Chain A
Amino acid sequence: MNSSKEAIIAAIKKNKPGKLPLPEHPKFPYENNLIEQFQASIKLNGGLAKSGEGIDQIQQYLNEKFTSDQQVLSLVDGISGNFEIGKVKDPHELEDIEVAILEGDWGVVENAAIWLPEEKIIHRALPFIAQHLIVLLKVENLLGNMHEVYQKINVADPGYGVFVAGPSKTADIEQSLIIGAHGPRSMVVYLME
């Protein structure tokens, strides 16, 4: 059963070149206006980032945009939905979620990637299966680039974690960009002071 492992390791030992050094992690300064840069980045990814709005305005937006017969799931304190995640045992029960409201840990302004570890989404499927996604992010948790965010997070802490940088999209038909391939058809980020 393990003979393949032994064969592969032995072949590598025989064939690999002499040991070469592992370089240090690079650091690159980042001075741009973080909020504006984040907004520009997420726009390119097909999403939208708003700043200067509070919890009340988000709740108002939800009330206006979604009707009471649509499932609204909020994992953010102070924002109420109509779907109780506590009773969900199987992620298939999330199938009809219209909008999920989540809070991100860190945001990277060079590409609008937001780190969502498992504990912030409860069910791994949630940020994908919802028809629309709203993510809150503290402005103080904006970082310049990917090097910085990997210094902040421990990727192995959660069993699963994902950088979400926009809605689900595809360009597989003649390179035409279409938002809403399998997952969310929109993503709005609120940058909170």
Chain B
Amino acid sequence: MAKYQKPKTRSKMKTTPTHAAAAEAFLKDGERSHWHDDTLWHVRSKRDVAAQKIPEWENLRNNASQIKDYVLSNLDNLLLQFEKNASENGIEVLWAKDADEHNQHVLRILEENQVKNLVKSKSILTEECGLNHFLEDKGYDVVDTDLGERIIQFNKQVPSHIVMPAIHLKKKEIGDIFHEHLGTEAGADDPAYLTEAARQHLRQKFIQAKAAITGVNFGIAETGGFVVCTNEGNADMGTHLADLHIACMGIEKLIPRAADLGVFLRLLARSATGQSITNYTSHFHRPREGKKMYLILVDNGRTDQLGREDFRNSLKCIRCGACMNTCPIYRRSSGFSYGSTVPGPIGSILSPGMDLKKHSTLPFASTLCGSCTDVCPVKINIHEQLYKWRQVITKEGPSQPSKKWAMRFGGNVMSKPKLFDMMGKMARKSLTISPRGFIYNSFNAWGKHRELPEVPKESFKDWYRKNRKQ
């Protein structure tokens, strides 16, 4: 059985801002951080309502988790089966060991087909690979067509959330961005007006584009096809008008059988936003007559993560974002504070596997309240893995100054009163709402032999302030 493999240190930067430092910066704008918190909590609440409507919800989660267990334990054979079937369907399948190879494949395809302008629908994988910048540097016009992604592309930012990329921006700011880039009226911030402006603008881009790039939500081994989910219909507008379609897929996105989609589609949108399904769920099996379809299978650290027994479960992730929406730290510190493509609890497990040094503070950006694990549709033991990363990071030994990183996190919190207050409030809150099971489970040694003291409703500071006034 494969043991824990030490992740590579890839970052060239000498010092990376810690999560705590980045969070502190976000928290300086108190009004914004409250608004961000409320917005995401609202999404989380919608998820609860949707999940509670399905009596078999827990069965679905179990089934999905088991299917993914099977996939991970048989990934080599399933990938080969997928490749064979997809090729027979007329899809050209390419393999990429890392981000660079992925980008080179895309470049070669565009060159071969002499395409200069392309539209792209949302794909976390291409963000991970830095595809946009890579292509733009080479003179390509890459247009993100998901509304949220187009907004942040104009604003020269990366997504702060994997499902709602522009969740950190207020409509006023988006109005300003559109005024600058699309010529909308100055000061106009009505979402319907702004969306209409984007619609007109992007329709032209769809009509002109010669190539469309999409992500993949699910690849089906049995049939050699793949599924893409959107609400806007932007993936379809792009692919059905363009001459070639390039689909980029992480190797873990595979499912064995088409009928497994029944389970995953019931879970995905409900977990993400509380919708019963996205308005479009597109199944691609063959290119249009005379057109081309490519599918790039990307590893980029996934096979390494597969070899880390304690962390391989993170590869079950279907990128619903629920763990972010529920996370008390994410909600208050925003996606940018994580400094990684996938932020939030799941990002804090995946990113250290890609670059331990750069992301060493992320596993500490958690109260370990377990809410992420509770909502995860594929039952990833997220908070346990965060705890395990902490042990790895703290144990790394003198060659790696990781203990210092851990201490730095603590030191940072202590030295920043606002952050300390926030973490304290969250800990008090999460202790009152966490089910006992999370506090008294086997991994949590200090919960084993004792009952928790009653959680104080206010911090000493709050108490002192109130009582001094009297």
Decide yes or no whether B297 CB sits under 8 A from chain A. Answer: yes
Tell me the nearest residue of chain A to B69, going by C-beta: A20
Contact partner of B279 (CB less than 8 A), chosen from A17, A28, A164, is A164
A129 to B206, CA, bound (A): 10
Contact partner of B299 (CB less than 8 A), chosen from A11, A91, A150, A164, is A11
A155 to B85, CA, bound (A): 13
- CB of B280 within 8 A of CB of A111, answer no
- CB of A124 within 8 A of CB of B60, answer no
- CB of B262 within 8 A of CB of A146, answer yes
Decide yes or no whether A87 CB sits under 8 A from chain B. Answer: no
**With a CB–CB cut-off of 8 A, which chain B residues contact A150?**
258-259, 261-262
- CB of B39 within 8 A of CB of A175, answer yes
**With a CB–CB cut-off of 8 A, which chain A residues contact B223?**
155-156
Decide yes or no whether A35 CB sits under 8 A from chain B. Answer: no
**With a CB–CB cut-off of 8 A, which chain B residues contact A156?**
89, 220, 223-225, 258, 285
Contact partner of A45 (CB less than 8 A), chosen from B80, B207, B276, is B276
Decide yes or no whether A145 CB sits under 8 A from chain B. Answer: yes
**With a CB–CB cut-off of 8 A, which chain A residues contact B148?**
170, 172
Decide yes or no whether B37 CB sits under 8 A from chain A. Answer: no
With A44-B276, A124-B240: A19-B282 Cβ-Cβ less than 8 Å: no
Tell me the nearest residue of chain A to B175, going by C-beta: A173
With A12-B306, A18-B1: A174-B191 Cβ-Cβ less than 8 Å: yes
- CB of A160 within 8 A of CB of B166, answer no
| Distance to closest chain A CB from B282 (angstroms) | 5
Interface size range of chain A in the complex: 35 or more
| Distance to closest chain A CB from B177 (angstroms) | 11
Decide yes or no whether B423 CB sits under 8 A from chain A. Answer: no
Decide yes or no whether B8 CB sits under 8 A from chain A. Answer: no
Stretch from A50-58, A74-82, A97-105, A180-188 at the B interface: A180-188
- CB of A173 within 8 A of CB of B174, answer yes
**With a CB–CB cut-off of 8 A, which chain A residues contact B207?**
92, 95
Decide yes or no whether B24 CB sits under 8 A from chain A. Answer: no
**With a CB–CB cut-off of 8 A, which chain B residues contact A167?**
279
**With a CB–CB cut-off of 8 A, which chain A residues contact B203?**
182
- CB of B258 within 8 A of CB of A155, answer yes
A3 to B287, CA, bound (A): 26
| Distance to closest chain A CB from B423 (angstroms) | 26
- CB of A172 within 8 A of CB of B202, answer no
* B430-464 near A? 1/0 per residue, CB < 8 Å: 00000000000000000000000000000000000
| Distance to closest chain B CB from A56 (angstroms) | 29
**With a CB–CB cut-off of 8 A, which chain B residues contact A183?**
232-233, 236-237, 280
| Distance to closest chain A CB from B308 (angstroms) | 8
- CB of B63 within 8 A of CB of A113, answer no
* A120-160 near B? 1/0 per residue, CB < 8 Å: 00011101110000000000000001111111001110111
Could you list 5 A-B pairs, sorted by A, with CB under 8 Å?
A8-B299, A18-B1, A25-B263, A127-B236, A147-B262
